[in-house]
């Protein structure tokens, strides 16, 4: 049963990956590295300064670089400071994810909060839930991912939800597996082409 769900989710994700413009909006830094584009030095001080850059893609890439490539725990206070004022959902999720990867409970709590923030868009909530699953390998926000599929109001949110659920399918409860199977059957029959191809 889990193998069938994984294959179904993988098929749906593959369809999106082949032709979706949503790839340009993922949490992973774009192919054209914004840090290089804006001549941001690959130094700790250069990357910390980039957390306040006017372009969200630069802030996002700098957060990931500081949190993962290689991890630089000394930058955690700067990341948390930037997180406190960040409004862009991509950069905000990146900052919270990187801070969490560096061991910050505050970053993890912020990411969890983003998952359930009723005032945030479905896309913002799904970004946070995807980051929790993909980068941190945690299933704290599975309900948010299922909500994105239930509501079907934002194709970007649904993309992140399907991608994350594909990666966490072995951690779903039997009830969540059944619900995912039912939602997938609905999505495949949708009149909306974008929804159908997710």
CATH number at residue 150: 1.25.10
- For residue 159, the model assigns a pLDDT of 85
The total of structural domains in the chain comes to 1
Task: Give the C-alpha distances (Å, rounded to integers) separating 168 from 36, 41, 56, 60.
Answer: 33, 36, 28, 24
Please, what's the b/e burial string for 123-139 (b: 16 or more CB within 10 A of its CB; e: otherwise)?
bbbbbbbbbbbbbbebb
* Owning domain of residue 45: 2-197
Model-wide pTM > 0.85: no
Region 60-64: mean pLDDT is 96
pLDDT tens, residue by residue, 80-128: 999 999 999 999 999 999 999 999 999 999 999 999 999 999 999 999 9
User: Is residue 14 over pLDDT 70?
Assistant: no
């Amino acid at each position: 049963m889990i193998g069938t769900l994984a294959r179904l989710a993988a098929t749906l994700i593959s369809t999106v990956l082949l032709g979706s413009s949503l790839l340009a909006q993922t949490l992973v830094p774009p192919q054209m590295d914004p840090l290089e584009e804006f001549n941001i030095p690959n130094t700790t001080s250069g990357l910390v300064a980039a957390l306040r850059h006017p372009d969200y893609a630069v802030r996002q890439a700098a957060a990931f670089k500081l949190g993962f490539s290689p991890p630089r725990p000394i930058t955690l206070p700067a990341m948390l400071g930037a997180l406190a004022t960040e409004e862009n959902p991509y950069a905000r999720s990146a900052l919270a994810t990187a801070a969490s990867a560096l061991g910050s409970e505050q970053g993890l709590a912020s990411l969890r909060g983003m998952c359930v923030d009723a005032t945030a868009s479905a896309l913002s909530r799904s970004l946070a839930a995807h980051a929790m699953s993909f980068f941190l390998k945690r299933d704290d926000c599975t309900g948010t991912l299922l909500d994105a599929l239930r509501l079907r109001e934002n194709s970007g949110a649904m993309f992140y939800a399907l991608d994350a659920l594909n990666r966490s399918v072995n951690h779903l409860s039997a009830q969540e597996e059944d619900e995912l199977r039912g939602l997938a059957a609905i999505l495949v029959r949708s009149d909306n082409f974008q929804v159908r191809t997710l």
